[in-house]
Amino acid sequence: MAGRLVGRSQGWLRAGVAAAIASLVVAVSVALLPHPATSALPALLGSSTAATIEIVPGLALVGAGIIVWLWSPATIVAGLSLSAGVLWFGPSWLAWTAGPALVPTVGLVATPLLVATVVALVGAAWAGSPSRLYASTLAAIVVCSAIVAIGRGMVYDPFDDAACITACGHANLFLVMSLPSVDRTLRSLAAIVQVGAGLTLLVMSAPRFASRSAWTGSYGRVIGLGAGSTLGLGWAAGGLFALLATLSGSLSNLDASTTTVAAASLIAIALGLALGVAERLRAIDLVRGLAVQLGTLTSSGSLQMRLATALTDDTVEVAFPLPNDGGYVDTRGRPVPEPTSATIQSGAKPISSRSRCRTPTG
């Protein structure tokens, strides 16, 4: 009884901390959003549509990150989702000229980091075990994004930018030396990184989305992979046009379209993460029910105790696999390491018995 009370109190504590973090992120992010008159999107999309695009994707990713952190062991996915949600507001901070100069300066540095964070998020959530090629590509995207972020923070001076449409009302607080030619090179590198990130998402997500196993498994995974494929295609096309525009000294005609596609895709990714958590919780409830039913099949003791007695091994543990490579849980629904011994088949559902001794398979 005391253990249950402690577990519940810890759960409420985690929920309270998560709610506090979410409230802080939402309050700060919304407070730092620019007035519509200072943003480039309203002139292209209309103020109401632009406000939706600027706010909803970031808040959706933050909310999904909180949900994953509370009810799933995938802490890396939770952290990446929270980070992507915050970084989504980077261009909005960059466009805010009515507040302190620190806000657009932070937006200048934060904006290039979004693409790398989203690629890592989709890969960690739905790509399974990463290949060496994917790991190398992701590392290159992260390094190049960091170079663009740090480099632009050091050399970009909005007062030397004749084509400036954002951050034009404040000086760059991180400026070391104004080097317009270097900044132009860094913007070209940012466009190349966006193309690479888009192609990585497309190659990683599209084949998995089109596979038969994806459509017979988790709906959250299907939504996430579909959104990743769409976002990859949009970023690849938008980055290519942005690169050509940067090299020619003009403005890209696809900026608004790319932003709209990215907003819709990121909302779908957040939905896929939340739906995946809901499916995992439902699977855990089913496993708990199955464990109770199996426990009643024996005349004395639980299934785990009966197996330990039969095998003369007190270290035997019964683990139940969750669907879609969701890991394993014990008879109480708690996550456990992957079994290393034989698997006992129960109808269409495998029931794994972990032991230092080999168990027969039936």
Instruction: Identify residue 63 by its one-letter amino acid code.
Output: G
The C-alpha angle with vertex 68 and arms to 51 and 235, in degrees rounded to 5, equals 45
Residue 40 confidence class, pLDDT cut points 50, 70, 90: very low
In whole angstroms, give the CA distance from residue 50 to residue 85: 17
Percent of the chain past pLDDT 70, that is, above it, reads 63
* pLDDT tens digit sequence for 278-312: 888 887 777 677 666 665 554 444 666 766 766 66
233-250 mean pLDDT? 86
Q: What is the pLDDT of residue 127?
A: 83
Q: What is the pLDDT of residue 344?
A: 47
Distance between first and last Cα of the chain? 37
Q: What is the pLDDT of residue 158?
A: 77
| The 335-336 sheet, strands edge to edge | 335-336, 328-329, 317-321, 349-354, 343-346
Check: CB of residue 155 under 8 Å from CB of residue 175.
yes
Q: Provide the residue count of the chain.
A: 362
Q: Which residues lie across from 345 on neighbouring strands?
A: 350
Instruction: Kindly report whether the global pTM for this prediction surpasses the value 0.75.
Output: no
